[in-house]
């Protein structure tokens, strides 16, 4: 089972890479994201986007045509060569981009299934939940992130082009786990043989995966907002084909508003477990300290997001900063610090 799990991780990494390449093809060939699915866009954007009276979503990019009515920005018909009735070059390119996007989603689903199978077989081989070390933790967090992404796609399929950035993150995390963090299966240390292990670690893993996903639209929002404000330098030009900024910002908020209470419960559960195991609920162990820092930043993000006077760029940066502290807690603390949580290291 252990060998099978390792092989599945390797295959999943390659499939994530293929999905990323397919998303890149869609991103390169596709027109600007003028075509927004009206109903899901309204759900995410709401009144923050203009044209509230009609419920339409406005794309400010210069090549945005009226795809709903079948005309281009220049006023010509979309989809046929003039006088021939045959598909135009732009239409053929758009179809290739659409095919690339569909293939990318299919590959992401396949990679996620392989990813899940790798975790299940790892758990069966270890006869425990696969969260006993950094290798297993990173694999589980990344799986939660991609599973949540697929759920987002079901709800809001027009966000598909974010998949390029999400699959890039998946390739980096899963490959790092496989090539750098790999740890052979060993029994849990006695300190982890508790039902609190499942309660505490599962909630932290789940919320960390959602924070990972939430950081992707936060970065994309900053790029897209800059592009909509007229910035045409790198990296803002990469955002030309992304959904409108207001929708990305709203998605960032939805993900963090959902994950923060789960993370809070995980921190509290950890304190209760610490009281039972070590005789004190909190001792400013490096992991506890960085968990507290993450909690404060994410609480600050939600507070700032609820404050009308705070600019959305500021809240997006807070979301990104929060995720960086999560990564610091996962990688930096385990590698560079010693503490009571050292058994969760490499």
Whether the predicted model's global pTM rises above the 0.85 cut: no
Long-range contacts (CB closer than 8 Å, 24 or more residues apart) made by 40-46: 40/155, 40/156, 40/157, 40/158, 41/156, 41/158, 41/243, 41/244, 41/247, 43/156, 44/156, 44/246, 44/247, 44/250, 44/251, 44/254, 45/244, 45/246, 45/247, 45/250, 46/246, 46/250
First to last CA, the chain: 21
Closest CA to 241 of 188, 164, 146, 339: 164
Dihedral sign of CA atoms 8, 13, 14, 19 in order: positive
In the prediction, which pLDDT does 278 show?
Answer: 81
Region of 32 please: left (phi>0), alpha (psi -120 to 50) or beta: beta
In the prediction, which pLDDT does 342 show?
Answer: 65
In the prediction, which pLDDT does 283 show?
Answer: 86
In the prediction, which pLDDT does 190 show?
Answer: 77
In the prediction, which pLDDT does 69 show?
Answer: 31
In the prediction, which pLDDT does 83 show?
Answer: 54
* C-alpha angle 330-294-195 in degrees, rounded to nearest 5: 60
In the prediction, which pLDDT does 44 show?
Answer: 57
In the prediction, which pLDDT does 132 show?
Answer: 87
For the chain, residues with pLDDT lower than 50 are: 32-42, 46-78
Q: What are the φ/ψ torsions at residue 87 (nearest 5 degrees)? A: -60, 135
């Amino acid at each position: 089972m252990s060998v099978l799990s390792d092989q599945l991780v390797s295959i999943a990494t390659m499939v994530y890479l293929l999905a990323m390449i397919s998303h890149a093809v869609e991103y390169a060939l596709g027109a600007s994201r003028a075509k927004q699915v009206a109903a899901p866009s309204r759900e995410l954007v709401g009144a923050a986007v203009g044209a509230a009276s009609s419920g339409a979503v406005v794309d400010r990019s210069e090549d945005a045509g009226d795809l709903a009515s079948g005309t281009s920005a220049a006023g010509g018909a979309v989809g046929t060569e003039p006088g021939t009735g045959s598909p135009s070059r732009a239409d053929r390119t758009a179809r290739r981009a659409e095919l690339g996007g569909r293939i990318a989603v299919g590959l992401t689903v396949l990679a996620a299934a392989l990813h899940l199978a790798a975790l299940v077989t790892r758990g069966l081989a270890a006869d425990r939940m696969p969260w006993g070390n950094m290798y297993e933790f990173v694999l589980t967090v990344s799986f939660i992130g991609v599973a949540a992404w697929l759920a987002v796609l079901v709800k809001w399929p027009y966000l598909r082009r974010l998949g390029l950035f999400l699959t890039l993150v998946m390739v980096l995390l899963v490959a790092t786990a496989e090539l750098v963090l790999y740890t052979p299966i060993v029994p849990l240390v006695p300190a982890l043989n508790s039902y609190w292990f499942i309660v505490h670690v599962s909630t932290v893993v789940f919320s960390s995966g959602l924070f990972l996903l939430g950081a992707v639209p936060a970065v994309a929002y900053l790029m897209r907002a800059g592009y909509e404000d007229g910035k045409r330098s790198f990296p803002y030009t990469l955002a030309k084909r992304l959904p409108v900024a207001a929708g990305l910002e709203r998605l960032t908020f939805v993900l963090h508003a959902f994950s923060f209470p789960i993370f809070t419960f995980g921190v509290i559960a950890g304190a209760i477990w610490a009281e039972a195991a070590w005789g004190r609920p909190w001792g400013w162990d490096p992991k506890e300290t960085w968990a507290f820092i993450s909690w404060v930043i994410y609480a600050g993000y939600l507070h700032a997001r609820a404050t009308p006077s705070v600019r959305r760029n500021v809240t997006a940066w807070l979301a990104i900063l929060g995720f960086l502290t999560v990564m610091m807690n996962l990688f930096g603390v385990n590698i560079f610090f010693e503490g009571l949580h050292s058994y969760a290291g490499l």
